[in-house]
């Protein structure tokens, strides 16, 4: 009889431990999800196509058109590309990929997931600074 009681207690203890473990795991997963949702940088969701409407405001965006196949075909992590008269614009799947690509060109500027690669020296420093500030301030709350 005592053996049967001990077995029932052991089974209850195992069920309680399993329930507590599952509860802790679910709580941890929800906490991670909440942190990810509240710390996600909305700038990673920027669509380069959204800048087409600004092509008349910034000289660096003159002739802005979609060119993903041409600009991204052999570039690791490149997910979107646009070309313009004075620069190429690439969006990457990660900041690490953007950093790596930007390091390959002395005429590039990185704004988080986006790399602007200037063509030649036709743009003034002011023109470059204007478009860089525009990209840097897009999808931020400041």
Query: Has residue 22 been placed in a domain?
Result: yes
Query: Has residue 61 been placed in a domain?
Result: yes
Considering the entire predicted model, what is its pTM? Answer: 0.70
pLDDT of residue 11: 76
Query: The tokens of 80 are what?
Result: 């979107």
pLDDT of residue 1: 67
pLDDT in tens, 83-105: 999 999 999 999 999 999 999 98
pLDDT of residue 140: 59
Query: Has residue 96 been placed in a domain?
Result: yes
**Bridge partners, 87 (sequence order):** 118
Mean pLDDT by 10 residues, the chain (142 residues): 68 76 76 60 81 87 95 96 96 95 94 93 93 85 46
pLDDT of residue 18: 81
Element (H or E) spanning 118, and its range? Answer: strand 114-118
Query: Has residue 102 been placed in a domain?
Result: yes
d(C-alpha 51, C-alpha 134), whole Å: 10
pLDDT of residue 84: 95
pLDDT of residue 142: 44
Query: Has residue 76 been placed in a domain?
Result: yes
User: 3-state DSSP call for residue 139?
Assistant: coil
d(C-alpha 128, C-alpha 118), whole Å: 9
Residues 50 and 16 both lie in one domain: no
pLDDT of residue 42: 64
Residues 23 and 57 both lie in one domain: no
């Amino acid at each position: 009889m005592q053996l049967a009681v001990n077995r029932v207690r052991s089974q209850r203890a195992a069920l309680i431990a399993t329930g507590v473990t599952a509860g802790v795991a679910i709580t941890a997963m929800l906490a991670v999800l909440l942190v990810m949702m509240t710390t996600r940088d909305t700038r990673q969701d920027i669509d380069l196509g959204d800048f087409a409407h600004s092509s008349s405001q910034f000289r660096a965006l003159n002739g802005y058109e979609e060119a993903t196949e041409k600009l991204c075909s052999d570039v690791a992590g490149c997910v979107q590309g646009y070309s313009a008269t004075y620069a190429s614009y690439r969006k990457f799947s990660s900041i690490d990929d953007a950093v790596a690509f930007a390091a390959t060109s002395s005429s590039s500027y990185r704004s988080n997931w986006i790399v602007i690669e200037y063509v030649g020296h036709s743009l003034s420093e002011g023109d470059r600074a204007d478009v860089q500030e525009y990209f840097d301030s897009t999808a931020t709350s400041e």
